[in-house]
Chains A and B, each alone.
Chain A
Amino acid sequence: EVQLVQSGAEVKKPGESLKISCKGSGYSFTSYWIGWVRQMPGKGLEWMGIIYPGDSDTRYSPSFQGQVTISADKSISTAYLQWSSLKASDTAMYYCARTVWGSYRSPFDYWGQGTLVTVSS
């Protein structure tokens, strides 16, 4: 069974760093892209970026380029989303998701349960 399990909720202060994780199982982790999607409170979905764990090829939406870093450790089948300096506007639910096939032109068929990040002083 394909599963994406994300790390737990985080409460951070502005300026702090954070790295959240997404562990894949039940499939070949290096053969599919893993993307990250933001959902701010009461708002819609936003595509942030995507990584191919097989070779770490990474693409970002211009809205998120330079604001976050997407990475993956294929040895432990885990993808990451990290911030070096959080802002209050980063408060949101973050989902990781797997592509249907091995291309970044693919939609997402399996999703993690989401990680709620709250940034508040």
Chain B
Amino acid sequence: QSALTQPASVSGSPGQSITISCTGTSSDVGGYNYVSWYQQHPGKAPKLMIYEVSNRPSGVPDRFSGSKSGNTASLTISGLQAEDEADYYCSSYTSSSTHWVFGGGTKLTVL
């Protein structure tokens, strides 16, 4: 059981928008603005897509955006492209001795 809850899968057609949710508690997502999102293609290392809830690292397309409300963070991908098909993981700093926790991951399928 992962500390953060994500839907197992989402799907969308090219050009559409999708949103992936990430639900935690007041000890992690709700308590800090240290929420990150990672993209992982099969057989590859994860790639940082969003940090501190809504910041994009250099080189990440602005089609990717992040937000947070209460204990739930969200990743939105607009203008879906075939190469966006991947697994997405949220992560949050936590006040527990675990320090950082990940969500269970969401498989994005581009139809």
Contacts and interface: CB of A to CB of B under 8 A. Distances in A.
A95 B46 contact: yes
Interface string B61-95: 00000000000000000000000000001010100
Contact of A105 (B46, B93, B101, B102): B93
Contacts of A97: 45-46
Contact of B36 (A59, A107, A114): A107
B99 A59 contact: yes
A65 B34 CA distance: 23
B100 A47 contact: yes
Interface of B is mostly: strand
B98 A45 contact: no
Interface residues of A, number: 24
A95 B45 contact: yes
A107 B89 CA distance: 12
Interface residues of B, number: 24
A83 interface: no
Interface of B: 2, 32, 34, 36, 38, 40, 45-48, 51, 57, 89, 91, 93, 97-105
A20 interface: no
17 contacts: A45-B40, A46-B102, A47-B99, A47-B102, A61-B99, A62-B97, A63-B98, A95-B45, A97-B46, A100-B48, A107-B36, A107-B51, A108-B48, A109-B51, A109-B57, A111-B45, A111-B46
B45 A113 contact: yes
A107 B34 contact: yes
B101 A44 contact: no
